[in-house]
Amino acid sequence: MAIPQSFIQELLARVDVVEVVGRYVQLKKGGANFMGLCPFHGEKSPSFSVSPAKQFFHCFGCGKNGNAIGFLMEHAGMTFIEAVKDLAQNIGMQVPEDDASPQDRARAAEQRQKQATLTDVLEKAGEAYRKHLRNSPKAIEYFKGRGLSGQVAKDFGLGYAPEGWRSLASVFPDYQDPLLAESGLVIVNQEDGEEEKRYDRFRDRVMFPIRNVKGECIGFGGRVLGEGTPKYLNSPETPVFSKGRELYGLFEARNALRDMGYVLVTEGYMDVVALAQLGFPNAVATLGTACTTDHVQKLFRFTDSVVFSFDGDGAGRRAARKALDGALPYATDVRSVKFLFLPPEHDPDSYIREFGKEAFAHCVTEAMPLSRFLIEVAREGCDLHTAEGRAHMASNAKPMWMALPDGALKRQLLSEIAELADLGNHELQDLWMPAPAAAAPARPGEFKKSSKFKPREPYAPKAYKRGTRLIPQGRADHAARVLLSHMDLWEDLSTEDHNLLCELAPPHGPLFVWLDQQHHEHGNQAWGALREGLREHESEDLALRVMASAFTLLLDDEGNPMPESLTPEQQRKEAGLELRGILNKILFESLDVQMKEAIAEAAADPTAMQRYKALFERRKQLGLIPQKLAESHD
């Protein structure tokens, strides 16, 4: 689904990043900005700043920054679309959905309403389960027996579903409510000719609420107390719960993932909770299914490093193989995927209890890299001493290798597989990638550039020519930074200033042309909204680079952050003076260049001398010409 750019900018103009961030982070006003403890890295004194004027957040500790959409993506793990929808919903804007008929839209609205209702129902059940836990000595005994503290039980919202067929009837007065069945809490059974039976799905089980990345309860896992079957029981698939996409513990782990630098993917919810208790709060688990590409993609939104932990038995091995398939398409060169196999008799919980936290951490460091596991899987059952065995190994490796994204890892693996297959690199490549595809495997950087750079006809109310004017980069950067921070200053500039900036050589000139267009189309916008509009623009990288230094943190004598002392009005005034200063310098330099050109042309072109004089006058007006030089020309 494509959301029109203009809608996104409109949305960002209406939401307040301070309010959005404030939902998750406690912020304190200090001068023009708000400060708080950074949610992306651990810290004791605040270096996380949110600017209402720029509609942007910036951490001076870890460098994370972005607008309201970026914050929800980074912190709450939403996709771009999810973040846009979340913001729009909060301020009552309707996200335009392309090609959606009114019926489709009504259905989508109904669907959203239903989802909200279902999570409410599940949340209410979760509360009841928590209450029951307090009154159930045997459930408490079970958790205590697994070494869990009250705090961890609380963090994960653990509970207990009591015995009895209709315990939930005391929580939901209308036990016939279809929502109870739709949320998976109640089972409706009707056999031919018999009366319909309704009863609680979870009975006499310790309960693990499953939360989505927003922290909403979307389902439950229940473990039987004692010997009943099945041992583990999950909520069924519902409009809010999809096993192939959700990961248990991700909401609870999301901050730890940043602190620890990696995520540990385990086999079950008890592993996750036990690991949190033992000092590894960065664990998650799939919910009774193999790890899918959706799971992996979700994890890579929170961290660049994934460690899959499996029991060393056959089942663990098969699960690892599936996880490998899920991870291959995302194994880019900047990410790390590893596979940790514990001894067959251990799970992470028992391993740490027997050998200690350090030993387990060591296992994680030493875990098998994806490349090695891929080779192991490929050569399994192949006798590499025979040509047949080597060919078989290569054919096993091919689909896995093909699934990898382009990059250095993929190329190295090709060499490795070729060597094992006793083939030359090129032979194997020819075999796997017939000529055209293999002809020019672009380096990732090159590839990205060419696919991203789409020269488009700029909207040009004043018909700017594509600029060639070069000026010192630092100066052009400076002007860009001031104008992207205070777009309203654009109105104060003269046409001469506008032309000067818009006709600078790329990437600066096109950035100012774009800003001029934005000004016509949307009026003044904060940097947070401009940033969104710049996506895929040829000057996007430039804008991000100059804006990275637009945030400053004042420190007092003890190195503690000091509140910004200028009011927004004062800041704007300062910025205006700053911009004038830069523009005068740029003008001056540009006049200088033009004057030199005019002199050079004067011999052949009689009008060149006149042009020179006009330029000289203009330069004098600017008052920037050293007095002596001016006199000598008079």
Q: Between 60 and 269, name the residue whose CB sits nearer to Zn ion.
A: 60
Q: Whole-number minimum distance, CB 274 to Zn ion, in Å?
A: 29
Dmax (CA) for the chain in angstroms is: 112
- For tokens 């916008």, what's the residue? 525
Does 403 interact with Zn ion (rule: CB under 5 A)?
Answer: no
Does 41 interact with Zn ion (rule: CB under 5 A)?
Answer: yes
Report d(CA 75, CA 55) in Å as an integer.
16
Q: Which tokens sit at 370?
A: 């994806």
- For tokens 């079957």, what's the residue? 229
Does 247 interact with Zn ion (rule: CB under 5 A)?
Answer: no
Q: Whole-number minimum distance, CB 40 to Zn ion, in Å?
A: 4
Cβ-contact 309, 344 below 8 angstroms: no
Q: Whole-number minimum distance, CB 557 to Zn ion, in Å?
A: 23
Amino acid identity, position 271: D
Does 146 interact with Zn ion (rule: CB under 5 A)?
Answer: no
From the list 57-65, 264-272, 371-379, 490-498, the region that binds Zn ion by CB under 5 A is 57-65
Q: Between 38 and 420, name the residue whose CB sits nearer to Zn ion.
A: 38
Does 255 interact with Zn ion (rule: CB under 5 A)?
Answer: no
C-alpha to C-alpha distances, 206 to 139, 162, 164, 232, 587, nearest whole angstrom: 6, 9, 14, 10, 74
Does 114 interact with Zn ion (rule: CB under 5 A)?
Answer: no
Does 568 interact with Zn ion (rule: CB under 5 A)?
Answer: no
Does 57 interact with Zn ion (rule: CB under 5 A)?
Answer: no
Does 553 interact with Zn ion (rule: CB under 5 A)?
Answer: no
Q: Whole-number minimum distance, CB 135 to Zn ion, in Å?
A: 42
C-alpha to C-alpha distances, 219 to 150, 156, 338, 458, nearest whole angstrom: 22, 13, 29, 50
**Sites for Zn ion among residues 60-79 (CB under 5 A):** 61-62
Does 551 interact with Zn ion (rule: CB under 5 A)?
Answer: no
DSSP state of 170: G
Q: b vs e for 398-437, b when ≥16 Cβ sit within 10 Å of the residue's Cβ?
A: eebbebbeebebbbebbebbbebbebeeeebbeebeeeee
Q: Between 59 and 265, name the residue whose CB sits nearer to Zn ion.
A: 59
Q: Whole-number minimum distance, CB 49 to Zn ion, in Å?
A: 10
Among 34, 40, 280, 490, the residue binding Zn ion under the rule CB under 5 A is 40
Q: Between 63 and 164, name the residue whose CB sits nearer to Zn ion.
A: 63
**Phi-psi map region of 494: left, alpha, beta (phi>0 left; psi -120 to 50 alpha):** beta
Does 501 interact with Zn ion (rule: CB under 5 A)?
Answer: no
Does 405 interact with Zn ion (rule: CB under 5 A)?
Answer: no
Among 25, 27, 59, 319, the residue binding Zn ion under the rule CB under 5 A is 59
From the list 58-66, 242-250, 266-274, 431-439, the region that binds Zn ion by CB under 5 A is 58-66
Q: Whole-number minimum distance, CB 419 to Zn ion, in Å?
A: 44
Q: Whole-number minimum distance, CB 306 to Zn ion, in Å?
A: 22
Total binding residues for Zn ion by CB under 5 A? 6
User: Taking CA 444 as the corner, what is the angle to CA 438 and CA 449, rounded to the nearest 5 degrees?
Assistant: 110
- For tokens 């960065």, what's the residue? 282
Q: Whole-number minimum distance, CB 62 to Zn ion, in Å?
A: 3
Does 300 interact with Zn ion (rule: CB under 5 A)?
Answer: no
Cβ-contact 264, 367 below 8 angstroms: no
Alpha helices (H) in 156-246, listed in sequence order: 178-182
User: Nearest-CA neighbor of 347 among 318, 308, 320, 310?
Assistant: 310
Q: Whole-number minimum distance, CB 155 to Zn ion, in Å?
A: 22
Q: Whole-number minimum distance, CB 255 to Zn ion, in Å?
A: 11
Cβ-contact 291, 309 below 8 angstroms: no
Does 147 interact with Zn ion (rule: CB under 5 A)?
Answer: no
Q: Between 49 and 235, name the residue whose CB sits nearer to Zn ion.
A: 49
Does 587 interact with Zn ion (rule: CB under 5 A)?
Answer: no
**Sites for Zn ion among residues 9-38 (CB under 5 A):** 38
What order of strands is seen across the sheet that includes strand 28-30?
28-30, 33-36, 48-51, 56-59, 65-66
Amino acid identity, position 407: G
Q: Between 75 and 469, name the residue whose CB sits nearer to Zn ion.
A: 75
Amino acid identity, position 20: V
Does 351 interact with Zn ion (rule: CB under 5 A)?
Answer: no
- Please give the residue ranges that form the binding site for Zn ion (CB under 5 A): 38, 40-41, 59, 61-62
